[in-house]
Amino acid sequence: MESLSCLVLKPSPPTRLFFPPRIPQMALPGSTFVFPFSMDYQLPITTAKLALKPIRASTSAVPTTPSTTSTVTSSPTAASTKKVLVPIGFGTEEMEAVILVDVLRRAGAEVTVASVEPQLEVQASGGTKLVADTRISTCSDRVFDLVALPGGMPGSAQLRDCEILKKITSKQAEEKRLYGGISTAPAVTLLPWGLLKRKRTTCHPAFFDRLPTFWAVKSNIQVSGELTTSQGPGTSFLFALALVEQLFGESVAREIGELLFMHSADDKPRKEEFNKVDWAVSHTPRVLVPVANGSEEIEIVTIVDILRRAKGQYMI
């Protein structure tokens, strides 16, 4: 076999990905994502900075960018901005949190990322550090159109033990407003709160046996009234788009899906190379992930998270 020559990179301080400050004109809070050493695999990374801006989606097929106005005239929901709460805590699954926030913002939602910890910066399940917009205590008197819980362990347990978040989500369910959870959140967080009663529910397969047998459903996405649940990181886009559809309608969800190139395997079959070359390395693969201002945050977080899970050595 041929040996692939890779760039050998030395460990250095954590990689930092900075979202820009809150944009007052659009009322869209920013979030900071910091990539330190992976807790699971202790992989080396270096420092890089990235300024990323949330965008809105109009009813056209062309992506829109932030401007000095918060009005999207082509959207039927522009007159009433949808407000969404995404809580995070120590051990939250970073892919689920980032994808949720990004997709909902693309659809035009005003997303608030709130920490259930005493500090704004929390370490996610894979070692990524997430910096929230605010603490959960500042959200207790606010009304949200959607409360969406990312999963991850022990993140879901941290959310479960937050009394303020429990009251916010319980009130959300009582008043028939949208709420949901992905991965471990349905079984670990929503179930103990009593918010899965008489609701068809799915969750991460490892926690499926905790769900009430009669109401448990093995599906990627399950919508039951105001409750939406999903299985895990791999279904995060489907989960986010299902929430977009409920907030903004099917056409907006379809357009966001097209902008994200959300095609099934049947729509876009994989093309095999004519001159395929087999290769292998005798050491742990080393991967360089370059970033710049304007890089796509979903892609960065997803690539790094998957490489970490595969025990590859990466540098950002």
What is the SS3 string spanning the chain?
CEECCCCCCCCECCEEEECCCCECCCCECCCEEEECCCCCCCCCECCCCCECCCCCCCCCCCCCCCCCCCCCCCCCCCCCCCEEEEEECCCCCHHHHHHHHHHHHHCCCEEEEEECCCCCEEECCCCCEEECCEEHHHHCCCCCCEEEECCCCCHHHHHHCCHHHHHHHHHHHHCCCEEEEECCHHHHHHCCCCCCCCCCECCCHHHHHHCCHHHECCCCEEEECCEEEECCHHHHHHHHHHHHHHHHCHHHHHHHHHHCCCCCCCCCCCCCCCCCCCEECCCCCEEECCCCCCCCHHHHHHHHHHHHHCCCEEEC
Is 28 part of a structural domain of the chain?
no
pLDDT digits (tens, 9 = 90+) for 298-310: 998 899 889 888 8
- Give pLDDT, residue 184: 97
Q: What is the pLDDT of residues 43-73, one digit of tens each?
A: 333 223 323 334 344 333 334 333 333 333 3
> 246 lies in a domain?
yes
In a domain? residue 189: yes
Answer whether residue 211 is part of any domain: yes
CA distance 27 to 33: 19
Please report which confidence band the pLDDT of residue 266 belongs to, taking 50, 70 and 90 as the band edges: low
> Which of these ranges, 72-81, 132-141, 207-216, 270-279, has the smallest mean pLDDT?
72-81
Which residues contact residue 69 at a Cβ distance below 8 angstroms, ignoring those fewer than 6 apart?
Answer: 25
Percentage of the chain modeled with pLDDT above 70: 73
Domain assignment present for residue 72? The answer is no
* pLDDT for the residue 1: 44
Q: Is residue 170 predicted with pLDDT exceeding 90? A: yes
Encode pLDDT of 136-162 as tens digits. 999 999 999 999 999 999 999 999 999
In a domain, 268, yes or no: no
Q: Mean pLDDT for the chain?
A: 79
CA 119 to chain centroid: 20
CATH number of the domain bearing residue 173: 3.40.50.880
Domain assignment of residue 41, yes or no: no
Overall domain count for the chain: 1
pLDDT, position 252: 96
Residue 175 lies in a domain: yes
Domain limits for position 160: 79-260
Question: 100 pLDDT exceeds 70?
Answer: yes
Tell me what pLDDT residue 77 has.
40
User: What is the distance between the terminal CA atoms of the chain, rounded to a whole angstrom?
Assistant: 28
pTM tops 0.85, yes or no: no
Rounded Cα distance between 54 and 276, Å, is 39
